[in-house]
Structure 1
Amino acid sequence: MTNEMFDQQLLSSRRRLEELWQRADKLQNPPTDLTSQTDQIPEQQQELLRESLEEFSFSLEELQVLVEELHVQNEELTNSRTALEAERQRYKELFDLVPDGYLVTTLEGTILEANQTAAQLLNVSHKYLVGKPFIVFVAAEERRKFYYQLSQLRRGESIKNWQVKIQSRRDACLTVAFTVTPVHNQQEQVVNLRWRFFEVFPTHNQKEWDIESTTQEQKGRSLFPSVLRPIKSYCQEQLASSNQLIEISSQQFAIAAHQAGRVLDDILSSTPDGFLVTDRTGKYIYVNRTAAQSLGFSQSDFIGKTWRQLELPVEIMERFDTQREAVFRTGEPLTDETSFTTVQGVRDYEYTINPVSDIYSDIEAVIVTVKDITKHKQAAAEANIALATEKEMSTLKSQSVFVVSQELRNLLHNIFGYIELIEIDNNQGNNEKKLNCFRRIQVNLKRINQLLDDLLWIGKLEAGEVLPNPSLFDLSKFCQELIAELQQGADFKHRITFSIEGQYSSVCMDRKLLRYILLNLLFNAIKYSPKSSEVKLDVACHDRNAIFCIQDFGIGIPQQDQELMFKAFYRGSNVDSVTGKGLGLAIAKQCVDLQKGEISVASEEGVGTTLTVKLPLNLRKFKREWGVGSRE
């Protein structure tokens, strides 16, 4: 019954009561010609009638007050319904903004609710999705298993990370991971199923009113049953029905609002993304668990507070306030990135601020969706480094081909030139010139052989095919033999001074790797220093380490080249016309690293260079790690 009908019935009852009063007055003041009839009604019964009518007048007035209260409560109920509808709209927008697909289905799998992401993943318009059985989207070969899992869900079991092959519209196939949770009613019965999936890459109490019967009313009822009983019964029925209506409606709205809030909170908190809702004043209306826990708070810590009360970073949050005000002003969403200190350390985030409108299309809040992009940025940085490395390696390969080709061309050109001289001198019979040409050819052939050896050796080092093979030997004797070998060259004009100290008579090192290191470093020192200048080799064996210092007084290495000097085929910017391949220092560095040693450089352009190599004297402790070793 509507409020208007209830008011009309109440007005009609008041009119009937007025008619009864008029009849009662006539009985008390009868006409003179009817005195004989009034004697038939005792004075006591007339008084009882008057008291009964007064009581029912009071009851109708009380009922009128209740009706007015009912109007007020109905108005409050309407306001509550409007607020609930606005809240439901807000939750709906949150529901649609979730980056994962969400569905609510019956126990048989018929879709009751779906967000926009689910519609996009299934490639079906949102309005056509509701009411469809979800099984139609499951690939045919997986439907039997799907029915089995559905039966398990009906028993109240949850399923996490259940991968299913989906056949969306237009035969587009994709694999999605499901997390399915049963929804229980107040009797703990499973009534619905809540699905999350993504692609794999308090009761309102109404005051009760009672109308009590009095002794006089009972007497009046016996006197006037046809008048009093219908009025009282009607009033009681209307009052009871109105109270019941208010109580049921209020309970239903309260339960619906509480359940909707709990379901939406579960959905939003199950995602790895953060969700925050703030009003125009900057106070937080809602924060999901992901966002709260990442900052070391609980959800309740945020509600009704601003970022200043929570002592969040000022610089970041002031910029956010400016962006939030811009979204309120323009109504357009805004996306940005920031770095934020969390309980897991500094993380990189991408956030989007979306406006939320009420039922009158007025923006009353904003939703902030926060996505952790730390791993994506790290992957992007690593990809950029890998790309730069690949580009550098490509450039290095091109440079190496050019250097090696140029070196081989020069050496072959020299050999062909000496052969032509031999042919000329052969006709003239000059044996001494021919002998000198043969020596020059031999030197160039040795250089070609050394170049090929260096290329093969550095290839083996980079491929991990070379392992240390330590043996016992006298380090002083080894160094002296190496210097003597260098001094046998025809063009050797430098002075090499050698000194050694410490326990050097029996060291356990790799002779071959040490030979490569010292030869390349001494060759470089000789090549880039003036003829007849001094080159020093100082060795010190202390604290289980051998330290080799190779010093020259040549052109030096520019500061900007020192970080790149150990890369293959790299040559300094000041070498000018000095020939070279850019392999010596690279080979030496890899041989040092292979023995778990260290190499460093100290150089000044135009003054000279000192290279220091530190190697362990006893490599036996590394034999088990390398799996090799021998004793000479």
Structure 2
Amino acid sequence: MEKSALLDALVHNAIDGIITIDELGIVESINPSACKLFDYAEPEVLGENISMLMPFDDKVAHDSYLKYYKMSGQSHIMGIGRELIGKTKNGNQFTFKIGVSEVKHAGRKIYAGFIHDLTQQKKDEERLKNYASHLEELVEERTKTLNDTIKALEKAKAKVSASLEKEKLISKLKNRFLSMASHEFRTPLSTAHLSASLIEKYAEPLNNANIIKHAGKIINAVTNLTTVLNDFLYIEQLEVGNVKAKPTCFDLVQLAEEITEEMQLLAKEKQQIHFSHNGCQKLITLDQNLIKNSIINLITNAIKYSEDGCTIEFTTEINDSHCIICVKDEGIGIPEEDQLHLFEPFFRAHNTGNIPGTGLGLNIVARYIALMNGSISYVSTINEGTSFTLTFSSI
């Protein structure tokens, strides 16, 4: 009795629908969940054929299933989950999954159907199907866009490659011209410089100030133009990779004193170049030519951008870890907004005015220092001067 009550309670409270029918398909019991699924009250279903809960096509199929099972004893649905269409009282249709079991009780056969509503599952599947279809469309669209982008990039790449080849050709022609111009102009300039110097010498006995004055102007002009051509030649050599650092051991102090003596001859009237060395160590292993050219460039700038009577401080130091070379002037200084571009080729600060120059000197120095694994730094204040510092490892 207790087992029967428990079984009734389980059937009555089951989440899925449970319906039992006899061999003729007549409904003998239906639980509340099944009533809710088909929207019928229990009395409306009991005693009726189960086909009332199916669309017309499924009614015929169901009758044929029962007939076939009676004749053959074989079932297409017994113990097998199967999807069917159900029809509610108001005619709405929904999909459900049914599992049918045969139960022998009191000398007769009863068929129990366990019904699970698939409405929400079908909605989810349809939504997933639509989402997958939408994703496929997006993938197809994105693939097309990606292919179009790849084609555009390939065209752009071809254009860039053509531009690069053209730029390489132009660069080669530029370097060839710079090399040719630097070498071809050097001979006539040397001749002009020598001739002007001879004129200046021969004019001394005549005591003619005008001849000496104009000969001096010629010499200065030739010197400036030679400096420009040298800058072009240095740049050309750097561009084609002909400049390599060749470290040797040399006396830095001796080199600095020679440079100071040479540059003092080129300084403006009353300008003084003061050289000093800190420390006892004098030997250093670097590329002597690159160091010399870099120092001459910095002192030339100091002379050029400083007034008469100014002092140019030139110092060197070799300690246990570093070699430090510094050139400090009292010149016009570098505007703060121009300092970011200071080492770019052909760049000149906007306060240089009519002072001649190519804007290549500092670019050349920076590249020379980099070849020797050194660093260049500076401090500059408008109208108070500029200090450049070259630092190398002395280890």
TM-score band, normalised by the shorter chain?
A: 0.5 to 0.7
TM-aligned CA deviation for residue 60 of structure 1: 4.6
TM-aligned CA deviation for residue 437 of structure 1: 4.6
Number of the residue aligned with 2:50: 66
Is the CA contact 1:602–1:609 (under 8 Å) kept in the aligned structure 2? yes
Query: Which of 565, 585, 591 is residue 368 of structure 2 equivalent to?
Result: 591
Alignment-mate amino acid for residue 207 of structure 1? V
Is the CA contact 1:473–1:508 (under 8 Å) kept in the aligned structure 2? yes
> For residues 458-607 of structure 1, what are the structure 2 equivalents within 5 Å?
458-489=235-266, 491=268, 493-607=270-384
TM-aligned CA deviation for residue 541 of structure 1: 1.4
TM-aligned CA deviation for residue 207 of structure 1: 2.6
CA 443–576 in structure 1, closer or farther in 2 if over 3 Å, else same = closer
Q: Does 1:79 align with 2:94?
A: yes
Number of the residue aligned with 2:100: 207
CA distances 1:449-469 after superposition (whole Å, capped 9, x unpaired): 332222111122133221111
Q: TM-score, structure 2 length as denominator?
A: 0.56
Is the CA contact 1:494–1:535 (under 8 Å) kept in the aligned structure 2? yes
- Paired residue secondary structure (1:609): strand
2 CA distance for matches of 1:206 and 1:70? Answer: 16
Is the CA contact 1:538–1:549 (under 8 Å) kept in the aligned structure 2? yes
CA distances 1:531-565 after superposition (whole Å, capped 9, x unpaired): 12100012121242111121111111000010111
TM-aligned CA deviation for residue 69 of structure 1: 4.3
Q: Does 1:448 align with 2:225?
A: yes
Alignment-mate amino acid for residue 48 of structure 2? Q
Is the CA contact 1:474–1:504 (under 8 Å) kept in the aligned structure 2? no
Alignment-mate amino acid for residue 86 of structure 2? E
TM-aligned CA deviation for residue 515 of structure 1: 0.7
CA distances 1:171-230 after superposition (whole Å, capped 9, x unpaired): xxxxxxxxxxxxxxxxxxxxxxxxxxxxxxxxx442335687959xxxxxxxxxxxxxxx
CA RMSD of aligned residues (A): 5.6
Number of the residue aligned with 2:7: none
* Unpaired segments ≥5 residues, structure 2: 1-21, 29-46, 59-83
Identity of aligned residues (%): 25
1 CA distance for matches of 2:363 and 2:105? Answer: 108
Is the CA contact 2:268–2:303 (under 8 Å) kept in the aligned structure 1? no
2 CA distance for matches of 1:490 and 1:547? Answer: 24
Is the CA contact 1:516–1:587 (under 8 Å) kept in the aligned structure 2? no
CA 481–558 in structure 1, closer or farther in 2 if over 3 Å, else same = same
CA distances 1:412-462 after superposition (whole Å, capped 9, x unpaired): 9xx79x98xx8xx99xx9585556655543443333333222211112213
Alignment-mate amino acid for residue 369 of structure 2? V
2 CA distance for matches of 1:561 and 1:505? Answer: 36
Alignment-mate amino acid for residue 483 of structure 1? T
CA distances 1:231-289 after superposition (whole Å, capped 9, x unpaired): x9xxx9xx99xx9xx99xx9xx99xx69x979x97xx9xxxxxx989xxxxxxxxxxxx
TM-aligned CA deviation for residue 614 of structure 1: 0.7
Q: TM-score, structure 1 length as denominator?
A: 0.37
> For residues 322-333 of structure 1, what are the structure 2 equivalents within 5 Å?
none
